[in-house]
Amino acid sequence: MRYSTILGIESSCDDTAAAIWHKGKILANVVAGQAVHEKYGGVVPELASRAHQSHIVPVTDQALNQANLKIQDVDAIAYTQGPGLIGSLHVGGNFAKGLSLSTGKPLIGVNHLQAHVAALYIETPNPVFPILCLLVSGGHTQLLLVKSYMEMEIVGSTMDDAAGEAFDKGAKMMGLPYPGGPLIDKYAKLGDPLKFKFPEGKVPELHFSFSGIKTSLLYFLRDEKIKDPDFVEMELYHICASYQHSIVDYLLKKTRMAIHKFQPGNIALAGGVSANSQLRKDFLNISKVTGIPALIPAFEYCTDNAAMIAAAGHYLLESGHTTDLGALPFVRMGK
Ligand code: KG4
Ligand code: ZN
């Protein structure tokens, strides 16, 4: 192993993170969130860039301190090259490049979505390929067929909103702060998932659509509030449970179709929405029924983190990739 200690840096959206990967173990995994967006109901890109600038040095220092290392001790610097918010990517990318330039350590730019998949290898270094991975985050919803560590094909993807956006925008309609996914998860535990019905998206094959379900929540709340202005307050737990149930059911219906089609060796969850307790529980049930082992990352590796960036960096470096100082960030999938 040429690259046994890797510093990972993540700044694609609204979390500033740094982590140390060492021979397959995570020695430090530091994440600074950005409360500044809460009151806006979504991430404000310019505020995110500024918060990354103030967080990135202390977060990296903290990761090195926790791992008991100096910057000279790392073998390479991995950072999120994209996709993400352009300003946020620039902050992490330029910081990583500065570190690489001043220390002479190799640099590796990582695709954030591939890194969500690499998060699986932290706890399962020897999975059974191909892995069928349901990647569900605030920006993406995809079914990926992972053929080897960093080789993957998108076999299904959302045509409009991501699953995380459906959670967050739904939460906003109910008057909950951003990001609403974890709150819907929390309140759903206290409600009846079958009390209300929200129709699933109608797109073919393994693709997804969440705009319909979101719009149906919007009109449902509007109509009910006309009848009773306190409707959301009174029924919050049931609305959360039913809305979550509709999203999770839809995600898993498509996942079952993909399992049938590809007969994978492992099935896996990745991305922030995989922290959802209903999704995790039902996903394990699918594993039980099909007999295909499920890989579900620990919470800290599901939501955005730099441990997954360092892990992805390791696999890319070992297969001969490095990134030069002139590399630009990319905003969308596929460079
Ligand atoms: O992967 P991630 O941290 O960031 C992106 O790359 O987008 O995902 C963030 C998304 C947000 O939409 C958030 O609401 C959602 O993950 N999320 C959840 C839960 N925890 C985070 N959604 C539903 N249930 C949760 N427990
Ligand atoms: Zn993410």
pLDDT in tens, 158-180: 999 999 999 999 999 999 988 89
Tell me the CA–centroid distance for residue 32 and ligand 1, in Å.
15
Q: Ligand 1 test: best mutation among 117, 137, 214, 274, most atoms within 8 Å of CB?
A: 137
Task: Name the CATH superfamily, with its identifier, for domain 5-118+301-318.
Answer: ATPase, nucleotide binding domain (3.30.420.40)
> Of 299, 241, 245, 234, nearest to 269 (Cα)?
299
- Which residue do the tokens 């001969």 mark? 320
Burial 97-111 (b: 16+ CB within 10 A, else e): bebbeeeebbbbbbb
- Nearest ligand, measured from the Cα of 85: 1
Identical fold, 5-118+301-318 and 127-296: yes
- Provide the percentage of residues in the chain whose pLDDT is more than 90: 87
Given a contact cutoff of 8 angstroms between Cβ atoms, the answer to whether 77 and 106 are in contact is yes
Of all protein residues, whose CA lies closest to atom 3 belonging to ligand 1? Answer: 303
The CATH class given to the 127-296 domain equals alpha beta
| Domain residue ranges of the chain, discontinuous segments joined by + | 5-118+301-318, 127-296
Q: Is the pLDDT of residue 64 over 70?
A: yes
Helix (H/G/I), strand (E/B), else coil: 149: coil
Of all protein residues, whose CA lies closest to atom 1 belonging to ligand 1? Answer: 272
Tell me the CA–centroid distance for residue 299 and ligand 2, in Å.
13
Tell me the CA–centroid distance for residue 88 and ligand 2, in Å.
13
Tell me the CA–centroid distance for residue 82 and ligand 2, in Å.
10
Given a contact cutoff of 8 angstroms between Cβ atoms, the answer to whether 294 and 269 are in contact is yes
- Nearest ligand, measured from the Cα of 271: 1
Cα 250 from Cα 262, distance rounded (Å): 19
Question: What's the pLDDT at 120?
Answer: 97
* CA-angle at 108, arms to 129 and 296, nearest 5°: 35
Average pLDDT of the residues in 121-142: 95
Enclosing H/E stretch for 285: helix 277-290
